[in-house]
Structures are given as C-alpha cells and as structure tokens.
Structure 1
Amino acid sequence: MAAVNLQKPVESSGRKLSIHVVTWNVASAAPPPDLNDLLQLNNQNLNLDIYIIGLQEMNCGIMSLLSDTAFEDPWSSFFMDVLSPLSFIKGNKGGVNTCLKLYGYHVSIINCHLPPHLANNDQRLEHFDRILEMQNFEGQDIPNILDHDLIFWFGDMNFRIEDFGLHFVRESIKSRCFSDLWEKDQLSITKRHDLLLREFQEGPLLFPPTYKFDRNTNNYDTSEKKRKPAWTDRILWRLKRQPQAGPDISKLPDPHFCLTLRSYVSHMMYSISDHKPVTGTFDLELKPLMSAPLVILIPEGLWTMEDDMLISYSLTADFVSSPWDWIGLYKVGLRHINDYVSYVWVRDNQVSFSDGPNQVYINTRDIPETEDQFLLCYYSNSLHSVVGISKSFQIRPHSFFGEDSLGESQPWF
C-alpha cells in the first residue's frame, strides 16, 4: 500500500519529498499493538510525505479473504488507523506493482516475494526478470517498468549467504563483523555480473540478517532445521538513465530528479514473525514537470448544511475527463478514496457550459452536524486516481445572526 500526505503544499520551483519504505514478511501474524518505531512516528526530525508499505505472507485464510472482499485486510486497516489522523491517505491501487505519477514523473513500486532456499538462486533471478518482462501498464506513454523515472523494488527476496557454515555466520553476527558475510551474500554476488540487477542500488547492510528468528524472540532459529541467518528482506531502487550521448559518455540520472538514502535499518523490537521488518527512508529532490494539478477545485464561499454547495473546477488542457469522473466531499483525515460523505457525477450534474470554470452542486444537507474540516477530491475514472484536491474548509452546522458594533443584525456563517 502507498499512503500520501494530503496536507503538504506544492512548490513549482523545486520540491523535496521524504519517502519511508517498509518491507516485512509478517508470517500470517496479526498486527502488533504499536507500530510507532516501524513508521518512525516518534522521530521528530522526520517530516514524511509518503509511506510505501509492502507486506508478505499475510493471512490468506477463507475468513481473511471474505473480510478483504467485503471490507479491508486487517494490516491495511491497522496502518491507516495510525496514519489517517496524520493526513495520509492510502492509494487505491492493489497488487504487487503500483504505478504513480508524481509531479509529472513516473514511479513504479514493486513488492515481491521470491522463491526460498539457498539452492534456488537461479530461480530467484528468473522471477526477477519475469516480473520486469510481464508487468505492463495501460497507456502508451509508459509501456514497461524500466521506462519509469524511479523504481522501488523491495520485499522478501530470499537471497541467502553462501559457503559459510552456520557457526561462522552466527559468530560473525554476534561480533557484528558483517563485512565477511557481505562477500557471500547472493544478491551482492549476483549484482557483480548481472547488468540489469546492477542498475538497482541498495544501502549498506549495517544491520544483522533479518531471517530466520524464533517467533516472539530475538533468537535465530533454534528448531531442528536451524536455518542459517540471511538478509532476505531488502529494499532496492533504480533511477532512470538519460539517453546515451556518445560511445564514451556514461549514462547519468536526470539532474532534476535525485534520490538520496537517509537511513536503511531493521527493527529488532518486532518479534511476531520469523522475519524482522526493514525500512528505508529517502529524500527525493525533483523539479516538478507540472506547474499545476490536472484539476483545480474551489468551493464557492462559506457554506452551511442548509444549502447545496456550489463547486467550481477547472481542467488543464491535456486532461481528458470521463463521463464517470466524480467529485467527493471528505472530512480531513480520510483513510481511503471511498470515505466520502457526499459525491456528485461531474458530467450529469454540470450547471455551467460557458468558457469559465465548470460548476456543479453537491448535496451537503444530509451531513451530520460537526466541527470537522472538509476537502474536495476529483476522481478520474480513466486514470483510476485522484487528480485534484481542494484546500480544507469548514461547513458550518447552521447559520445564525449576531449584532455588529452599531447594533445592526449581520449574518454569520
């Protein structure tokens, strides 16, 4: 899942976004009571814009499947219980591969779970290539994953540590001598000769291997199998290269689109699974390719719950609306795009066809009386995404009259 902070301002001259990526094989366990450390909510130095959360081995029993279909899976629900009060909203796309358009740049998010066991490294690489070859997106502008400006690729990749025996690996971990283990890490070895995988970057493995632990402990596997520890849980990224200008000129990332790793750590405090979660925090500096959102929404005036709200909105020249586009009215702190309190189909309810802004009315009379702040979102059916968000505003429960300094009645809203 991807969660985006709706309350951050847009700057057309330049922008720095902070992105927090989480990968965790939860081994069918239920969410723990506290995720503050995992989400870095106690870190006052972070001002995060986007959470990208990928889980593996979520409970897929029949009751879970029924719950997911009718409502929402418990992990997504739990994460949004924590993040929605902080103005984050979950992206509406599902599956292991999500494509986002961020200020005109294309970002691909891939959450994977590759084949296990030490001897299956070739099979893991085969799956890696197959994901790249088979995952295509609708639309002609981005036909393949590798055409995206940024790729985050993370998950339980199941790469293991070769050659060294169990005793040597455990002693190296105990003494925090990780450098010897890096040399035999299958992912590190593969990147040396696989040209495509070499394009993916990773931070230094300065934390202990994240697999395999006895559940509810920080002890590595003490079962009869005594599996050798390994860095199975990884976060990689790849920036799109510019076209090569000549045979002797190296391909470089776009200078207006730069990603910097701020931290790459595991979280040992969580013990519900035989894996430890891993997070990567990034700063993405970019020069926006779009100076304005595709749709600009403006609620007309101050409104009470006694009247319908008139909404004006304008579209950019390159945005094509659909008969199934709609505008939703939301309370600030919404968890999901379906959490609207009222909505209107833009084509069926359009009240202005002049050269000025488009206008529609939205019903606010059935909204319960509340002091909450509201905002408007324009949903594009063809893009399957929110393409315009208004500033927050308040809808007064009712109108009433007071007296000004001259004793005359004046309406207050």
Structure 2
Amino acid sequence: MVDFIDYEQTEPRQRATAVSSDDVHIKLDDWSVVGQSTVHDYGEDWVTYGRETAVHRALNQRKNEFTNLQPCRVLCVTWNVNGQLPSEDLDTLLSVDDRPADVICVGFQELDLSPETLLLMNDSSKELMWMEKMKAGLPKGVSYKLLKHIRLVGILLVVYVRESMISRVSEVYIGSVSTGIMGMLGNKGGVSIKFNIDMTTISIVNSHLAAHQEMVERRNQDYRDIFTKMRFDNDEANTLKNCDIVVWIGDLNYRVSEDEITGEEIRALAEKWEIGPLLRFDQLREQRNKHLVFEEFVEDTINFMPTYKYNPGTDKFDTSEKCRTPAWCDRILWKSNTVLKCEDYRSHPIHKLSDHKPVSAVLLVQTRVVDVQKKQLVLDEILKDLDRIANDSLPQAALNRTELNFDGVKYLEAQEQPITLQNTGTDLFEFEFIPKLEDRSICAPWLRIEPQKGVVDPGNVMIINFTVYIDNRALKTIGPDRKLDEILVLHLVNGKDYFISVSGYLVQTSFGRKITDLVRIPDPIRRQNLLVDIEQSPDEVKVDEESPVALNIPKELWRIVDYLYQHALFEEELFAVRGSPMDIGAVRDAIDTDGPIQVSSIHSVAESLILFLDSFPDPVIPYEHYPVCLEYCTHFANSKRALRNMDFSHRNVFKYICAFLREILSHSERNRSNAKFLSQVFGDVLLKPQLPEAGNVAKSTSKKRSLFVYQFLTNDYDE
C-alpha cells in the first residue's frame, strides 16, 4: 500500500537563511536568478546598488565552484482521455520501468467535456475520480506526496514527489492561461506547476492547443500565448522565462501535414509502422525547423505509433465518418540550462478507453545543490576584487536613434521597431523607462516597451523593442485625428535621461466606432485615398449627426453576419474555435474597404464578429440600460420592455444578432449548436458593465448576462 501524504496541506519549506559579507547582502539560494535585479529604491548610494548587481553576475559565472550536482528522475505523462471515466488501472503508466521516479507529473486533457464544466468552469466529479485512480496507480513500495495540482476546465496537471525528497522541494507555484475564444473559455490553453528542487527551478506545462488539420498558425499562437502570458500566482515577475527547466507536455494537436501526402497514404504508412517516412510530414517538426514554435526546446526520438485518432476501446485508427488521419498529437518536449537526459520516450497502446494513446517520458535531471562554505569563499574573493574597482565615473550610453514613426497602424495588428542602447563607458549601467513629471505611467496604453529596465555591460548593446498595438482599451485614448504621439524618458541610474519620441497614425476602421455613427456612414469607412499622410487628411470620414437618414444596422455587421449565414450554418464548434490573426485582419480590411472576404477558416470570421461587437465604445446594450436588463434577465416580457426603451440602432443590432443565432440553433442537429453556450459567449459581449467587476459579483453578473440573451434565443421576438 502506498503511503500517500497530501503536500498541498503542509506548511511550505522556508528558504535558506541569508548571509552577509561587508555591505553586500546575497541570499544563498539566489544564484539561479542572477542578473535579474529587482531593486526599485535607488536611493543616494548608487555605488552599492551597482556593486550588488555585479556580485550577482559574478556569482552566476562562478557557480560551478560552489555547487554540486544531484540526480533526480522525473516521469512525465500526458493523456487526452476524451471525457471518459477512469475505467483502466494506471500502474503501468506511472511505473514505466523497475526504477520508480523521484517526481511524477501527470497531465490530462479533455478530462470533462460536459457543457457545465466548459461554460461555467465548475468543479468536476471526474477530476476526483481520476485523482483517486492516479493515487492507486503510484509505484508500490514508495511513499509519495501530492505536491500540487491545478485544473483549467478539462486540462488537469498533477505533480507527486517522493516523500524522501520533499525536503529538497521549495517555492511551489501554479499558473494558467486560457486560449479559448477571446480568452473567455478554458476549453483550450495551458496550466503549469513551478517548483524548486534544490537550487534548480522546474516548471511543468500541460497544454491543449487548437485542433484541426489546417489550424497550424493558431496552434503556434496558442503556444506563444501560453509561454509569454503564464504568470505564477499572479506575480508579473514569476514567469517561465526564469526557469532552469521547462517540460512541456500535452495534446499539442499538431497533425501529419496533408500538403504532400494524402490521408490514405498516411494511414497506410502508420499501419505498416513506417514511422520514419511519416515523421517527415509531422507539422510540429516542420514548424520547429522554421523556428516558428518551441524554440530551444528538445524532443527525443519518436519510435512509437501515432497517438491519435483511434476507435475508443481498440487499437484501430479512426473508422468513423470523419476518418481522422493518424498523427502524433500527444508530445513531450523540454528546454534546460542544466544537465538533462531523456532515458525513455514512449506511448502506451495498452490503454484503449480514449481516442488518444498516452505518452510518457523519463527525464534524468541533474539539480544543483549549494555548498555554503565554498560559496562564502567565492563571495569573499569577488568582493575583494570589486573593492579595487573605482566607481567614480558616470554611465555612458549611446542610442542609434531617438525618433520612431509608425505609419499606417491597423487596429489589432501590432507594429514593432527596435532601438539599440550601447554602453560606451567602462562600467556596467542600469537603465529604466520612467514616467514624465505629470504622468503616472511610462507610456500610452497603445505602446509596449520590452524590456522596460535592464543592465548593460561595457561595450555591449541592448535591443529595446517598441510595439504599437491598438486594442479597445487603447482606442479610447486616441483622438478623432487618429494621431499617435508620445515622449518616453529613458533614465540611466546615476546618469542622464534620454528622450525618445514616438509618432504615427491609426488607419481608419469601423472597429471601435459608435453604432450610432456607423449607421450614418453609408460608404466604406476606408477608401484607397485614405492611405496618405495624416497631416494632410486628419479625419476623412465625416458623420452627419443631423441627417435623418440612417441604416437599420451597420453595413459592416451585415457583411460579417451575411458571410457566416452563407458559409457557416452547418459548421460545428462555431464561436468555440479561435481563428487566425492574419485572417481576422483580412476580414477587418474587407469590411472597411468593401472588398471580398477571403479567409482560410470560417472560425476567423466568427471571431471577427465577436471582436467587432466587443469594440463598440457603448455596448450593444448601452451602459445606461445594463442594470435593468440584469434585473429582468429571467422574465421575457420585462426583457422585451427594457429593449423597447433603447436607442433604435442599438435595439436593431441586438435583434439582428439574436435572429442570426436563432437561425444557427435551428440547424443544431447538423452544427451541434447549444443555446446555453451561445448565450454565454454573446452575453459577455452584448452586455458589459461600465466599471470593472471582480470576484463573486463578476460571476453573478456574467450568469445574468447569459440568461438575458438566452431569453431572446429561445423565444421569437419580432417587435
């Protein structure tokens, strides 16, 4: 019987005690984050501040002199269980060979496919059943502790650690990123558990990326979103970038490309076990070779059959009507700045309950353990060397330019330009962008700077990237002339300030305009002659506020909905699958110029509809009517009365959207649409509070918004 102890209920291990030498204080376990100083109070003694940073960097360079390597065996398992109950034992899955692992990491996808879990992110009874099954399947004769677990809808990650090793574990954090449509749904995304073993930081990421053969770009974007947006315990500084080891497991959904080979040929090669020729067409390998995804990650040699898609309960590839072609959807990759070796990488075909086969990898990791006495000796040597360095000179820097101009910025399309900052002095210096005297923030909401602070060694160059990105929040800060104008202050610690000017203009778009404006603009909002200098034509599209002539609904809305009506009534998973960013930009340009809508995926048009409705400064249900609509969300007669009190244009848009959604629901036998799901998606777009809501209030009002829309999707309304 396995001695099972729940580590999540125990007290966290305390960090090692800090030691000091002279006037510089260095924590014994800080060497793994060397060079990432987080000091914010510069004070008067800039010499000591610079000195401490130098000590951190020197310790990092000499860490081999005061650390020893300790082996740690990590077993990682990923399995898409297709919403099934745990009817199979997991003993062979959690004990790959005769040597039990020190750390066992198990990631499930599609743990629970029920609508309640998908829409409301409720607790899942299946989670408890699978947790019990894993507990029973742990290697016999070894005591394990449950370190941590985290679930995002159907994505579950669980980490166990040997009880004998638990004293070597510290700093346990969790994080999650949803990549479902508009980030509102957790049906796709990733979860992560980060922890230290000795002085080595390890993060395990379990992800479920976008599905379907053609959605390669969407999968790439999902990976980038998860990697860049993952924050542990909501700490902006606690990210995947400052981990020694990142192991990425999950249903990555990359398929075998059918550009040069047919589905029949793929199936034939798979059934003959001709893995080598088939892997030439693996999408993940293709994208990694092009350096588009999983840069710096490593994957061991694949010597197993494709893991998807099987007839559940069998070892036969899919024979259903869709007849999905075999693919290695389920993968395990890693990146490491320490010693790591993969001892075993395999699938487990004996498990048949799902349409996926589980995959496991055994990783041998060498973790670093600090020898305190040796480290103190190295620290003393470093401090003596630094004492001989004169800190009597100011930092010297040079910028390759101080003006940035962004021409033709488009809504929801990022533009990026770099500036190089060179250290021309003899000492390292630290820099930081700071607010102007009258401002609280360092830049306008439409501008991002990366990095905002840093350290540059003598003779070295730091590349600073400036990205202009206009979303709904930024759009509200831009005037009617659409000019972008900002002055940035780059400050050198104990040195001078540099001023960088950023200018540009936003290309005219119907996104972000008022409904009452759009119905009074009969022509396309952007013409060919608009692509001229903003100084010559600050705002070519005029709205005649006094004109009695108005369209019933914005023409742009009609074009998007009409396209979906013509092409998407029978499409499954409509509004549940994210589109391509490139396609969404093409849809926006098409409706702004009256050009043809040409996309690679109908889901891009569906997401464009959501984004268009979400961009209105005053929502479809205006802010002033929001409270009464929530009050009447369960009473259809009162809801209709509330709608009649609204502005003509807003009321027409709401009726038009609901009529279109009812048309989709009328074909539910073919498209598998669901009124509750559509109400959830559109409720949070058509009705929005004027001020942010949080906690239980946000959950309650979200449900009421959904119920209000549900009334109009399940009842005819032609008034």
Which TM-score band applies after superposition, normalised by the shorter structure? 0.5 to 0.7
Q: What corresponds to 2:277 in structure 1? A: 180
Alignment of 1:149 with 2:244, yes or no, is yes
Alignment of 1:91 with 2:188, yes or no, is no
Q: In the alignment, is the contact (CA less than 8 A) between 1:5 and 1:87 conserved in 2?
A: no
Q: What corresponds to 1:107 in structure 2? A: 202
**AA in 1 matched with 2:358:** P
Q: What corresponds to 1:59 in structure 2? A: 112
**Deviations 1:170-214 (CA, angstroms, capped at 9, x unpaired):** 221222221111111000000011265231110111101000000
Which of 192, 196, 206 is the aligned partner of 2:289? 192
Which of 69, 72, 75 is the aligned partner of 1:14? 69
Q: What corresponds to 1:130 in structure 2? A: 225
Query: What is the alpha-carbon distance in structure 2 between the residues aligned to residue 71 and residue 225 of structure 1?
Result: 27
Which of 288, 296, 314 is the aligned partner of 1:217? 314
Alignment of 1:283 with 2:364, yes or no, is yes
Matched residue count? 267
Q: What is the correspondence of 1:33-44 to structure 2 with a 5 Å cutoff?
A: 33-40=88-95, 43-44=97-98
Task: Calculate the aligned-residue CA RMSD, in Å.
Answer: 3.0
Q: In the alignment, is the contact (CA less than 8 A) between 1:99 and 1:108 conserved in 2?
A: yes
Other structure's SS at 2:138 match: helix
Q: In the alignment, is the contact (CA less than 8 A) between 1:105 and 1:289 conserved in 2?
A: no
Deviation at 1:166, TM superposition (A): 2.0
Other structure's SS at 1:53 match: strand
Q: What corresponds to 1:261 in structure 2? A: 342
Query: What is the alpha-carbon distance in structure 2 between the residues aligned to residue 140 and residue 126 of structure 1?
Result: 23
Other structure's SS at 1:216 match: coil
**AA in 1 matched with 2:344:** S
Query: What is the alpha-carbon distance in structure 1 between the residues aligned to residue 269 and residue 126 of structure 2?
Result: 46
Runs of 4+ in 1 over 4 A off after TM superposition: 3-6, 62-72, 138-142
**Deviations 1:76-131 (CA, angstroms, capped at 9, x unpaired):** 12101332863111123424111111112211111000011110000000111111
**Deviations 1:367-412 (CA, angstroms, capped at 9, x unpaired):** xxxxxxxxxxxxxxxxxxxxxxxxxxxxxxxxxxxxxxxxxxxxxx
**Deviations 1:232-276 (CA, angstroms, capped at 9, x unpaired):** 00001011xxxxxxxxxxxxx3xxx31100011000001000000
Q: What is the correspondence of 1:269-348 to structure 2 with a 5 Å cutoff?
A: 269-289=350-370
Structure 1 residues 14 and 124: CA distance shift in structure 2, 3 A: same
Say which is worse superposed, 177-186 or 64-73, in terms of deviation.
Answer: 64-73
Query: What is the alpha-carbon distance in structure 1 between the residues aligned to residue 223 and residue 357 of structure 2?
Result: 22
Query: What is the alpha-carbon distance in structure 1 between the residues aligned to residue 211 and residue 243 of structure 2?
Result: 28
TM norm structure 1:
0.59
Query: What is the alpha-carbon distance in structure 2 between the residues aligned to residue 70 and residue 197 of structure 1?
Result: 34
Q: In the alignment, is the contact (CA less than 8 A) between 1:5 and 1:49 conserved in 2?
A: no
Structure 1 residues 100 and 141: CA distance shift in structure 2, 3 A: farther
Which of 206, 211, 232 is the aligned partner of 2:303? 206
Q: In the alignment, is the contact (CA less than 8 A) between 1:104 and 1:290 conserved in 2?
A: no
Larger RCO (CA within 8 A; separation ≥ 6): 1
Structure 1 residues 166 and 104: CA distance shift in structure 2, 3 A: same
Query: What is the alpha-carbon distance in structure 2 between the residues aligned to residue 4 and residue 84 of structure 1?
Result: 14
**AA in 2 matched with 1:106:** T
Other structure's SS at 2:193 match: strand
**AA in 1 matched with 2:252:** M
Q: In the alignment, is the contact (CA less than 8 A) between 2:199 and 2:367 conserved in 1?
A: no
Structure 1 residues 98 and 119: CA distance shift in structure 2, 3 A: same
Query: What is the alpha-carbon distance in structure 1 between the residues aligned to residue 125 and residue 365 of structure 2?
Result: 36
Deviation at 1:226, TM superposition (A): 0.8
Query: What is the alpha-carbon distance in structure 1 between the residues aligned to residue 303 and residue 313 of structure 2?
Result: 23
**Deviations 1:276-304 (CA, angstroms, capped at 9, x unpaired):** 00000111122314779xxxxxxxxxxxx
Alignment of 1:226 with 2:323, yes or no, is yes
**Deviations 1:147-190 (CA, angstroms, capped at 9, x unpaired):** 21000111000000112212211221222221111111000000
Query: What is the alpha-carbon distance in structure 2 between the residues aligned to residue 196 and residue 289 of structure 1?
Result: 34
Query: What is the alpha-carbon distance in structure 1 between the residues aligned to residue 117 and residue 226 of structure 2?
Result: 29
Query: What is the alpha-carbon distance in structure 1 between the residues aligned to residue 310 and residue 126 of structure 2?
Result: 32
Other structure's SS at 2:232 match: coil
- Of Structure 1 and Structure 2, which has the larger fraction of its residues in helix? 2
Other structure's SS at 2:315 match: coil
Query: What is the alpha-carbon distance in structure 2 between the residues aligned to residue 165 and residue 176 of structure 1?
Result: 17
Query: What is the alpha-carbon distance in structure 2 between the residues aligned to residue 168 and residue 84 of structure 1?
Result: 41
Other structure's SS at 1:124 match: helix
**AA in 1 matched with 2:281:** K
Q: In the alignment, is the contact (CA less than 8 A) between 1:260 and 1:283 conserved in 2?
A: yes
Query: What is the alpha-carbon distance in structure 2 between the residues aligned to residue 68 and residue 79 of structure 1?
Result: 18
**AA in 2 matched with 1:16:** P
Q: What corresponds to 1:357 in structure 2? A: none
Deviation at 1:19, TM superposition (A): 0.7
Other structure's SS at 1:272 match: coil
Which of 86, 97, 100 is the aligned partner of 1:47? 100
Deviation at 1:143, TM superposition (A): 3.0
Other structure's SS at 1:130 match: helix
Which of 259, 265, 269 is the aligned partner of 1:168? 265
**AA in 2 matched with 1:137:** F
TM norm structure 2:
0.35
Deviation at 1:217, TM superposition (A): 0.3
Query: What is the alpha-carbon distance in structure 2 between the residues aligned to residue 161 and residue 4 of structure 1?
Result: 42
Structure 1 residues 291 and 228: CA distance shift in structure 2, 3 A: farther
Q: In the alignment, is the contact (CA less than 8 A) between 1:169 and 1:181 conserved in 2?
A: yes
**What residue ranges of structure 1 are gaps of 5+ in the alignment?**
7-11, 240-252, 293-413
Query: What is the alpha-carbon distance in structure 2 between the residues aligned to residue 188 and residue 235 of structure 1?
Result: 13
**AA in 2 matched with 1:91:** L
Q: In the alignment, is the contact (CA less than 8 A) between 1:100 and 1:107 conserved in 2?
A: yes
Query: What is the alpha-carbon distance in structure 1 between the residues aligned to residue 282 and residue 78 of structure 2?
Result: 19
Query: What is the alpha-carbon distance in structure 2 between the residues aligned to residue 105 and residue 266 of structure 1?
Result: 28
Q: What corresponds to 1:82 in structure 2? A: 137
Structure 1 residues 146 and 63: CA distance shift in structure 2, 3 A: closer
**AA in 1 matched with 2:263:** L
- Of Structure 1 and Structure 2, which has the larger fraction of its residues in strand? 1
Structure 1 residues 145 and 224: CA distance shift in structure 2, 3 A: same
Q: In the alignment, is the contact (CA less than 8 A) between 2:199 and 2:368 conserved in 1?
A: no
Deviation at 1:4, TM superposition (A): 9.8
Which of 79, 82, 89 is the aligned partner of 1:27? 82
**AA in 2 matched with 1:51:** I
Q: In the alignment, is the contact (CA less than 8 A) between 2:206 and 2:250 conserved in 1?
A: yes
Deviation at 1:36, TM superposition (A): 1.8
Larger Rg: 2
> Percent of pairs identical after alignment?
28
Deviation at 1:47, TM superposition (A): 3.2
Query: What is the alpha-carbon distance in structure 1 between the residues aligned to residue 286 and residue 5 of structure 2?
Result: 35
Query: What is the alpha-carbon distance in structure 1 between the residues aligned to residue 242 and residue 72 of structure 2?
Result: 21
Other structure's SS at 1:201 match: coil
